[in-house]
Amino acid sequence: MQKQKVVIIGGGFGGMFAAKKLHTLSQGDLDIELISKINYFVYQPLLPEVAAGTLNPQDAVTPLRNLLKGVQVRLAEVTDIDFDAKQITLLQGQRKILQRVDYDHLVIATGQVANLSLFPGFEHHSLTMKDLSDAYRLRNRVIECMEMADVTRFSDIKQRALTFVIAGAGFSGVETMGELAEMVDRILPEYPNIERHEIRLVMIQHGSRILPELPKHLSEYALNQLEKRGVEVWLNTGVHSATQHAVYTQDSRSLPTRTIVTTIGNGPSEFVKSLPIALQRGRIAVSAELEVIGLSNIWSIGDAALVPLNTSQEEPLYAPPTAQFAVAQAEVLAQNILHRTRGQNLAAFSYKAVGIMASLGGGRGVAEIYGRRVTGIAAWLIWRTAYIGMLPGLATRIRVALDWLFDLFTPRTIVYMAESDRPATRYLDYSEGEVVQHANEVPAGFYVVLSGSLTQEFERANGASEHHQLQVGDSWGSRALKEHRLTHGKITAREETKLLLVNSDDFQRLRSSYAAFNDLLSAGDK
């Protein structure tokens, strides 16, 4: 008999552990495929330490193929799901080739994304802490600001460079601020023209206390520890907007700064919002058995799912979006998918967290383990022990442990690894006969012919084939980008040809912002 196909979308805590557990339980009876935009597993609780230079970036991630032996891993982006046909549509490869994959069971474990549109300017002027690249950018930004502040003669530039703002005081915000404070203190001796009192570390929290998920006693301890290390905490303060030069709060205060880190405003991805699935509280509603409400053999776990914990009570209670719960959900999900394939009863998800904890940096932490509250260095050691135990893969655990050990005895590096600006345009060269574009691809951008010539070939609805010549000065792509459709026709170089490509995102920004640009394009687009 043909094996049933299980497709898992997302390689985070929920998706990765579900694939791993399902492969173990099924013992080869299921065809399991995991689809992810990136080919590695990110252990998000360690991202603040990557940003602070405690951990090497590559040590906080593990390749999915190393973790999921026996599971097909596909690097691609899912764009659509046809629930009736049991088929997903995805884009893969450098050319974004359109592919379709059939499934018998589908798991949506895509997590959530930072929704910065709630605060004007934050999308353009703030950093997030969702992925390895976010931590990398924050580390670079801090070092860049310190380098600038050490040599500038202008007080306003120095003030902005040395003011670091974090919006949100949940676990991610507090742990990022704790590691940021530790980093600044450790690297400050390398900058003789900067005094500690010139550095401002500001955390803005809309609520009345930080770490609201923790008991009040632990929250107050964390606040006291951060303030002792020079962190300003603005409670009962909402952020309003951000610009190139400052962040503004809802009570009309402003902070001149070059560094804003946003750890609030999480929401469903555009992909999840596009699906014909009802969302509740910004998440996919699932049953206690983790099956999407109203759909058969469609499952969801992790941050993307709204998982009920007490279906028998009047006041609903849902699983929090934490790694502990995502891993526990992955185990129940794997069992339920296997039970469904064997015609057995499904199990309801039930889990009680062992504890909850947060690192404050500087060898301090807060934790509640089995109802017992722990603070200080003991909580910090518990935090590190617990998280290194949750890391997938022995090699990753060893690398992280060694990084932590070396950090106790070696100075933090201040190497600034500047990212070169990605050009909005680039030149492309083709030889005779080389294919520039295939039909039914996602357009890479807007093309202009600078030299040479090309042939565009496409089929009409009646099956007739048509050919058009593209000469110097001709262009194509704007219509496909404007209408959000796939490319139309195959384009091949007839001779040595040089093109100018305006990348799609940059082209869309220009097109949507400058009306005269649209008028200029309308006559000549192919």
Q: Is 38 left (phi over 0), alpha (psi -120 to 50) or beta?
A: beta
Alpha-carbon distance 326 to 292, whole Å?
A: 16
Phi, psi angles (nearest 5°) of residue 415: -65, 125
The answer to whether residue 503 scores a pLDDT higher than 70 is yes
The answer to whether residue 98 scores a pLDDT higher than 70 is yes
> Do 463 and 503 belong to one domain?
yes
> Do 231 and 273 belong to one domain?
no
Residues 503-526: what's their mean pLDDT? 76
> Do 472 and 391 belong to one domain?
no
> Hey, is 453 helix, strand or coil?
coil
Q: How many CB atoms lie within 10 A of CB 67?
A: 20
The structural domain count of the chain equals 3
Alpha-carbon distance 477 to 507, whole Å?
A: 10
> Do 121 and 65 belong to one domain?
no
pLDDT number for residue 441 = 83
Model confidence at 484, pLDDT cuts 50, 70, 90, reads: confident
Phi, psi angles (nearest 5°) of residue 472: -55, 130
In a domain, 19, yes or no: yes
In a domain, 147, yes or no: yes
| % of the chain residues with pLDDT over 90 | 62
Q: Which domain holds residue 98?
A: 4-42+61-112+268-351
Phi, psi angles (nearest 5°) of residue 104: -105, -40
pLDDT digits (tens, 9 = 90+) for 331-350: 999 999 999 999 999 999 99
Domain of residue 394, CATH code = 3.50.50.100
Alpha-carbon distance 321 to 110, whole Å?
A: 12
In a domain, 344, yes or no: yes
The answer to whether residue 116 scores a pLDDT higher than 90 is no
Q: How far separated are the first and last CA of the chain, in Å rounded? A: 50
In a domain, 56, yes or no: no
> Do 221 and 360 belong to one domain?
yes
Of 315, 358, 359, 351, the closest CA to residue 333 belongs to: 351
Enumerate residues 6+ apart whose C-beta is below 8 A from 20.
67, 68, 71, 330, 392
The answer to whether residue 418 scores a pLDDT higher than 80 is no
What pTM was computed for the model? 0.88
Residues 349-367: what's their mean pLDDT? 89
Q: Are strands 364-369 and 372-375 parallel, antiparallel or unpaired?
A: antiparallel
Average pLDDT, the chain: 90
Residues 449-470: what's their mean pLDDT? 85
> Do 274 and 335 belong to one domain?
yes
pLDDT number for residue 24 = 93
Alpha-carbon distance 396 to 61, whole Å?
A: 8
Residues 215-237: what's their mean pLDDT? 94
The answer to whether residue 524 scores a pLDDT higher than 60 is no
> Do 157 and 240 belong to one domain?
yes
Quickly count helices (H) and strands (E) in the chain. Answer: 15, 32
The one-letter amino acid code at 69 reads K
pLDDT number for residue 525 = 55
> Do 25 and 104 belong to one domain?
yes
Domain of residue 304, CATH code = 3.50.50.60
pLDDT digits (tens, 9 = 90+) for 151-161: 999 999 999 99
> Do 368 and 226 belong to one domain?
yes
In a domain, 137, yes or no: yes
